Amino acid sequence: MDAFEMPTEMRCIEISEPGGPEVLTEARRAVPVPGHGEILIEVAYAGVNRPDALQRAGAYKAPLGASDLPGLECSGRVAALGPGVTGWSVGDQVCALLPGGGYAEFATCPAEHALPVPVGVDLKSAACLPETCFTVWSNVVMRGGLKAGERFLVHGGSSGIGTTAIQIAKALGARVFTTAGSPEKCAACEELGATAINYKTGDFVDVLRAEGGANLVLDMVGGSYIARNIKAMADDARMVFIAFLESPKAEINFAQVMLRRLTITGSTLRPQSDAAKAEIARQLLGQVWPMVSAGKLRVIHDSTFPLAEAAAAHARMESSQHIGKIVMEVKGG
């Protein structure tokens, strides 16, 4: 489509009210107009992430000024440039971290939060890269300081985040340990190079302690895992929280944190400043995109749904049966 053929309306998926997957409703809206420093993307594929399900349920509000439509990442082509944008041209293939609004035929984002589609990657896989790569790189490397030779423990290894974290950590030269909830999920994690522990039959604390302890833990579970993570950590280790699927609350003996010089931190990506996200994007382009093009980091695809079946995509995610990423085909989907 050329700029002069730009439609004024688009198909999208709205959250009609907080609730289950059935509240995701197909609607028509005006095509958004890119503001200063923003690009408009004609969306080909939109990645589905657990935070989308939290937003749908009313537990994760869109930040001020962001689209109320769900969708934190997409791939496609640049359809228009807002004032002041340099470095992109109409027609360029991109994948982008979005402040929201990815479940739609068109979405806007700051130009600096978009990245070129890595060499050798198709648009379907490219749509699955931004949210997990931004989250994993910023928490595992920028915040967690993972180094070659360290022992890295990531929970939920078969998740979108987990499969990305395993591969990035391996590519950096770390030894990777992970937990997952079934033999099939463990096998998928082992294939990516991790030592996988089925948490229903094994104890990650025993495995990590036998190896000398984890130097870095990436946790999305919380609750009962917090005290166990501390037991599994080596002296001077770091623990980074990115979610609390079980609970954000726990009773902890903080003497261990003091005596063993542990660091406990965490972050969420969405509320961070545009400048902070742009810095993560720059580091991804320099350090992670070459891993992708070299085949060291690949998207593990679970399933693909047409945009009209967003509810089914969310139901699949919340079944927790998936391994890797769920994606929606938007153009023609």
Ligand X SMILES: NC(=O)c1ccc[n+]([C@@H]2O[C@H](COP(=O)([O-])OP(=O)(O)OC[C@H]3O[C@@H](n4cnc5c(N)ncnc54)[C@H](OP(=O)(O)O)[C@@H]3O)[C@@H](O)[C@H]2O)c1
Residue 23 binds ligand X, judged by CB under 6 A: no
Question: 276-305: which residues touch ligand X (CB under 6 A)?
Answer: none
Closest approach, Cβ 138 to ligand X, in A, equals 8
Residues 6+ apart with CB under 8 A from 206: none
Q: Which of the stretches 63-71, 89-97, 205-213, 237-245 binds ligand X when contact is defined by CB under 6 A?
A: 237-245
Those residues with Cβ within 8 angstroms of residue 223's Cβ, 6 or more apart along the chain or in another chain: 244, 246, 247, 248, 249, 250
Q: Which CB sits closer to ligand X, 85 or 128? A: 128
Distance from C-alpha of 312 to C-alpha of 21, rounded to nearest angstrom:
7
Is residue 195 near ligand X by the rule CB under 6 A? no
- When asked if residue 312 is in the footprint of ligand X (CB under 6 A), the reply is no
Is residue 153 within 8 A of residue 218, CB to CB? The reply is: yes
One-letter amino acid for residue 101 of the chain: G
Q: 112, 131, 150, 309: which one contacts ligand X (CB under 6 A)?
A: 131
Of 37 and 181, nearer to ligand X (C-beta) is 181
Q: Is 38 in the site for ligand X (CB under 6 A)?
A: no
Write the burial class of residue 258 (CB in 10 Å: 0-12 exposed, 13-18 middle, 19+ buried): exposed
Stretch of 4-12, 142-150, 226-234, 265-273 lying at the interface with ligand X (CB under 6 A): 265-273
Residue of the chain from 15, 123, 189, 221 that contacts ligand X (CB under 6 A): 221
Residue 156 lies near ligand X (rule: CB under 6 A): yes
Taken in order 35, 39, 40, 43, is the CA torsion positive or negative?
negative
Both tokens assigned to 244: 């609390």
> Which residue, 44, 55, 33, 103, is CA-closest to 77?
44
Shortest distance (Å) from residue 68 CB to ligand X:
19
Q: If binding is defined by CB under 6 A, does position 196 make contact with ligand X?
A: no
Contacts for 332 with CB less than 8 Å, ≥ 6 apart = none
Q: Please identify, among the stretches 25-33, 104-112, 145-153, 159-167, the one whose residues bind ligand X according to the rule CB under 6 A.
A: 159-167
- Told to check if 160 binds ligand X by CB under 6 A, we report yes
Q: Is 203 in the site for ligand X (CB under 6 A)?
A: no
C-alpha separations of 82 from 78, 79, 217, 268, 293 in Å = 11, 10, 40, 27, 29
Q: Is 51 in the site for ligand X (CB under 6 A)?
A: yes
The residue (of 101 and 156) whose beta carbon lies closer to ligand X is: 156
Asked whether the beta carbons of 308 and 328 are under 8 A apart, the reply is no
For the bound state, the minimum distance from the C-beta of residue 28 to ligand X, rounded and expressed in Å, comes to 28
| Total residues in contact with ligand X, by rule CB under 6 A | 24
Who's near 23: CB < 8 A, 6+ residues apart?
15, 16, 17, 56
Pick one of 37, 181, 193, 290: the residue that binds ligand X (CB under 6 A). Answer: 181
Tokens of 29: 């809206």
Nearer to ligand X, 204 or 289 (CB): 204
Spatial separation of the C-alpha atoms in residues 34 and 30, rounded to whole Å = 12
Residue 215: closest CA among 240, 196, 242, 236 = 236
Site map for ligand X, 57-96, x if CB under 6 A?
A: ----------------------------------------
Residue whose CB is less far from ligand X, 55 or 215: 55
Residue closer to ligand X (CB basis): 93 or 263: 263
> Which residues make up the interface to ligand X (CB under 6 A)?
49-51, 131, 135, 156, 158-161, 180-181, 185, 220-221, 242-243, 245-246, 267-269, 317, 320
